[in-house]
Amino acid sequence: MPMDMELEALLRPPASQMPTYPPKWITLATGAKMVVRQLERGDVPTLLNAVRPTMKVARDYYDIVGARLYAELLGWYRYRVKDHYCLAGQVNGALVGIVNGRMYTPEIGMSYHTLAIDRGLRVGAHLFAAKMEYHLEYLGQEEVWITAESPIGFRRWMIEYGLELKEGMQHELGGASFYSLTKAIWHEAKPRLCVGSRPVPRELLAKAELEIRVADEGHILDKILGVKGGD
Amino acid sequence: MRKVAIVGVGMIPFGRYESESLVEMLAMPALRAMDDAGIGDRAVDALYVGNMAAGMFNHQSAVASALADYLALLPAAADTIENGPASGGSAIKNGLLAVASGYYDLVLVVGGEKMRDVIGPRATDTVATMTHPTAEYIYGVTLPSLAGMFTRLYMEKYGVTERHLAQVAIKNHNNGLLNPYAHIHASITQEGILDSPHSVVNSPIVSDPLRLYDCCPVSDGAAALLLCPAEMVAEFKKPKVVIAGFGQATDTQTVQEREDPTDLKAVRLAAQQAFAMAKQTPRDVDLAELHDAFTILEIAESEHAGFFKKGEGARALEEGRTRIGGDLPINPSGGLKARGHALGGTGVAQVAELVWHLRGEAGQRQVKGAEVGFSLNFGGFGNNVTAFVLRREA
Amino acid sequence: MKELVAYRCKKCGLIMYPKHGRCLRCKAREFEPFEAEGDARLITYTDNQTLPWGIDDRQRFLGIVEFANGVKAMGWLKVATPKLGMKLKPHWEPVRVMGGEDVYGLVLRQGK
Ligand SMILES: CC(C)(COP(=O)(O)OP(=O)(O)OC[C@H]1O[C@@H](n2cnc3c(N)ncnc32)[C@H](O)[C@@H]1OP(=O)(O)O)[C@@H](O)C(=O)NCCC(=O)NCCS
Ligand SMILES: [Zn+2]
């Protein structure tokens, strides 16, 4: 169907200038090197293949996170979310985790979701930290608004970072009172929670950029479920 | 006293179970142990179930009665045995004494825990209820933090370093890769958990100086043994492995009341008793399953149990003596670190592991020609410890 | 330190905290209650960064101290950087909320 570009122009939010997130690399516990880099709109169809299977997993609220992340990515792809970004972790090209959010105002960052596809290796912790780093150090914002959907998320972000409660206010995702990561909290937490080296050696980066490999559905379910028995 | 043999062994992989209830989880290894011995429909006289906290984790009590019913062991005697994280060791002890005394012939011992019905911090809290309610618990002390305080002193006194601790973790994760029953199948590297500046996030402080990879995971898991008098072994299909020695000792509940807080007195005494009863020495042991809930404990227990002099456990580790292929492989199963630590399941899983090695059934992680095995189950923070010496006999 | 009550065995003099039903050394059953007194010396400690459910702090320094009069006890160290052997002053303050109520315990600080 041909697009009514006049109407489309009304529906498309204008895009702000957003500095890019400089890629970094992190040694994981296994010794593997994870590249953390910013993805582009054109990568969305590939990402959706990784997110889709997670929507079936009720454990640890993967279904809610998966479904919302799917919608956010799609919205970004079809120009319906303003100033959205997505960072991803890759090991040998394979996608191991995704985080996203958006620039709400020039001063306030809105953190959306953290999805670890490879569990047990603190991938989620590394990627969440990278997204905070992006907001506060590259977008130059004053604070990031964060809400947790799972008890694990609450424990991880609110307590590990020591976030500030915004009593009674609302995050874009709705939900309970949310929390804020301010610059002061970030500077206290950073040495403990945000690591990584730059620049990424050329070969390592080239491998990540060449292809975002997404494991097949069964493999993803296996990884995030990690449940024994059931037979 | 009659000599007691283990004729059947069963285990389920440790990790996280969602579709099985606690009783179903306990039943699976029990059936495997019965089939392993080939007892068919023969009646089991008694059942002992090692479980620490089903009341808190699963909101269920009287677990042994439920299991006897589920497995149609009725009207067999059944008891749940609780001794903290050493509940498994205590359950085996009860089975051992029951058969040794001549009171029962066929006894099933099952140990297990389903900890992951609750989220991590709640599990931490439940485990911490072992500590003294007014002199310890109220402060937010946890088992990792008692271990952290112990580690700090042990490092000061004996020169154990973070590197040694990491080596325990790496060895046990490597062993776990060879064990299909292990909770964690991940090879870790010294770079990733210690040397790289990125390691502060990979292996964050849990309770310093202990980091994530110094701690056992929170596991669901279960294991089972079938015991009978040694003279009955020929009636079953498996080679003869006997419980040659047993020991158990207690120590003060609070660590602060120990004269020397780096001395694990209960470990020393339990091991001495077990060796004395078996008429063997630590030198005779071909492999040991120790309670490495925290990496430091593998080193400290290897000394207190008599395998190495105090302060020399770390060197033995460095020299590779405790690897599979070394002169005293420790935790070929992956230990609590990688096989996992399902509280009441652990003591039974340790002994099951020894039996597999003594029979030559341990697959890729087999300790060659093993004849004598030792296990140590550490309850509380070392205030109630059980030890076993197992032997293959002709 | 008024609230931290230790027990001295009337027969052999052993100092115990917490309370026991029989003396850990001589099995006697009579004790004289007394208060922990004087500076508390830090014997060991840990930085607990994984607190149990019910305590939402990011970290707590916990340690074992020995008072000048021989009482040993665990407490919450409210100091910037703990050091083995350091001298601390005892306080009796809320350490945990249980069943909606403040529970008091030993808190240790530097200075006064
Ligand atoms: C160390 C500890 C606090 C980590 O908890 P956590 O960060 O909440 O970890 P989670 O349970 O959320 O696990 C997340 C993943 O990390 C990995 N992981 C967790 N703990 C691990 C450990 N100790 N070692 C290696 N990997 C671990 C697992 O792969 C897990 O994946 P899974 O869910 O597929 O099993 C927790 O394992 C612990 O408390 N251990 C000590 C238990 C104890 O005291 N037992 C009694 C001793 S007597
Ligand atoms: Zn006395």
Q: Domain ranges in chain A?
A: 21-225
- The protein residue with its alpha carbon nearest to ligand 1, atom 14, reads A120
How large is the average pLDDT for residues B6-34? 97
Both structure tokens of B180:
């299909």
Counting Cβ atoms within 10 Å, is residue A52 exposed (0-12), middle (13-18) or buried (19+)? middle
Q: Tell me how far apart the alpha carbons of residues A31 and B392 are, in angstroms, rounded to a whole number.
A: 40
Three-class SS state of B358: helix
Are C84 and C43 in a shared domain? Answer: yes
In this complex, the chains that touch C, judged by 3 or more CB pairs closer than 8 A, are A, B
- The protein residue with its alpha carbon nearest to ligand 1, atom 6, reads B120
Are C26 and C48 in a shared domain? Answer: no
- The protein residue with its alpha carbon nearest to ligand 1, atom 1, reads B212
List, in order, residues 6 or more apart from A78 with CB less than 8 Å away: none
Integer angstrom CA distances of residue C51 from A34, B124, C58: 29, 8, 7
How large is the average pLDDT for residues B87-97? 98
Residue A207 confidence (pLDDT) above 70: yes
Pairing mode, strands A143-146 and A94-103: unpaired
Q: Where are the alpha helices (DSSP H) in chain B?
A: 22-37, 54-57, 63-70, 87-100, 120-128, 143-158, 162-177, 190, 199-202, 265-278, 295-304, 313-318, 335-338, 346-359
The structural domain count of chain C equals: 2
Residue A231 confidence (pLDDT) above 70: no
Phi, psi (5° rounding) for residue A186?
-60, -45
pLDDT at residue A1, rounded to an integer: 60
Instruction: Determine the distance in angstroms separating the CA of C13 from the nearest CA of chain A, rounded to an integer.
Output: 45
pLDDT at residue A160, rounded to an integer: 87
Cα dihedral angle (B175, B180, B183, B188), rounded to 10 degrees? Answer: 40
Pocket of ligand 1, candidates B168, B211, B216, B336: which has the most ligand atoms within 8 Å of its Cβ, to mutate?
A: B216
How large is the average pLDDT for residues C27-32? 98
pLDDT at residue B306, rounded to an integer: 98
pLDDT at residue C32, rounded to an integer: 98
pLDDT class of A176 with cuts at 50, 70, 90 = confident
The answer to whether the beta carbons of residues C9 and C70 sit under 8 Å apart is: no
Q: Tell me how far apart the alpha carbons of residues C30 and B73 are, in angstroms, rounded to a whole number.
A: 49
Q: What is the pLDDT of residues B136-159, one digit of tens each?
A: 999 999 999 999 999 999 999 999
Task: Name the DSSP letter for residue B211.
Answer: E
SS3 for chain A is: CCCCHHHHHHHCCCCCCCCCCCCEEEECCCCCEEEEEECCHHHHHHHHHHHHHHHHCCHHHHHHHHHHHHHHHHHHHCCCCCCEEEEEEEECCEEEEEEEEEECCCCEEEEEEEEECCCCCCHHHHHHHHHHHHHHHHCCCCEEEECCCCHHHHHHHHHHHCCEEECCCCCCCCCCCEEEEEHHHHHHHHHHHCCCECCCCHHHHHHHHHCCECCCHHHHHHHHHCCECCC
**Which residue is it, tokens 């085996």?**
B92
pLDDT at residue A229, rounded to an integer: 66
Are C56 and C81 in a shared domain? Answer: yes
Residue A88 confidence (pLDDT) above 70: yes
Q: Is B216 in the pocket of ligand 1 (CB under 6 A)?
A: yes
Are C102 and C59 in a shared domain? Answer: yes
Residue A98 confidence (pLDDT) above 90: yes
Task: Name the DSSP letter for residue B43.
Answer: P
Fold type of domain B4-119+218-236: Peroxisomal Thiolase; Chain A, domain 1 (3.40.47)
Q: Check A121 against B121: CB less than 8 A apart.
A: no
- AA letter at A216: D
Q: Domain ranges in chain B?
A: 4-119+218-236
Residue A158 confidence (pLDDT) above 90: no
- The protein residue with its alpha carbon nearest to ligand 1, atom 5, reads B120
Range of the domain at C13: 1-35
Residue C48 sits in a domain of what CATH number? 2.40.50
Q: Tell me how far apart the alpha carbons of residues B263 and B253 are, in angstroms, rounded to a whole number.
A: 14
Distance between Cα A79 and ligand 1 center (Å): 40
**Dihedral sign, Cα of residue B153, residue B157, residue B158, residue B163:** positive
Task: Please state the pTM of the whole predicted model.
Answer: 0.95
Residues of chain C contacting residue A152, judged by C-beta atoms under 8 Å apart:
none
Counting Cβ atoms within 10 Å, is residue A118 exposed (0-12), middle (13-18) or buried (19+)? buried
Three-class SS state of B202: helix
Residue A226 confidence (pLDDT) above 80: no
Share of chain A above pLDDT 70, in %: 98
Task: Name the DSSP letter for residue B195.
Answer: I
More confident residue, B311 or C2: B311
Residues of chain C contacting residue A160, judged by C-beta atoms under 8 Å apart:
58
Q: Is A120 in the pocket of ligand 1 (CB under 6 A)?
A: yes
Share of chain B above pLDDT 90, in %: 99
pLDDT class of A4 with cuts at 50, 70, 90 = confident
Distance between Cα C75 and ligand 2 center (Å): 25
Q: Which atom of ligand 1 is nearest to the CA of B381?
A: 48
Are C16 and C57 in a shared domain? Answer: no
Task: Give the homologous superfamily in CATH for domain A21-225.
Answer: Gcn5-related N-acetyltransferase (GNAT) (3.40.630.30)
Q: How many Cβ contacts (< 8 angstroms) between chains A and C?
A: 5
Instruction: Determine the distance in angstroms separating the CA of C106 from the nearest CA of chain B, rounded to an integer.
Output: 8
| Region of A79 on the Ramachandran plot (φ > 0 left; ψ -120 to 50 alpha; else beta) | left
pLDDT class of A230 with cuts at 50, 70, 90 = low
Q: Is B143 in the pocket of ligand 1 (CB under 6 A)?
A: yes
Question: ω before B204 within 30° of 0 (cis)?
Answer: no
Residue A218 confidence (pLDDT) above 90: no
Q: Tell me how far apart the alpha carbons of residues B141 and B129 are, in angstroms, rounded to a whole number.
A: 10
pLDDT class of A221 with cuts at 50, 70, 90 = confident
Vertex B117: Cα angle to B111 and B121 (nearest 5)? 105
**Closest by CA position to B140, among listed C4, A44, C77:** C77
In this complex, the chains that touch B, judged by 3 or more CB pairs closer than 8 A, are A, C
pLDDT at residue A61, rounded to an integer: 87
Are C22 and C43 in a shared domain? Answer: no
Both structure tokens of C112:
């006064």
Neighbours of ion ligand 2 (CB under 5 A): C 9, 11-12, 14, 23, 25-26, 28
SS3 for B258-297 is: CCCCCCCHHHHHHHHHHHHHHCCCHHHCCEEECCCCEHHH
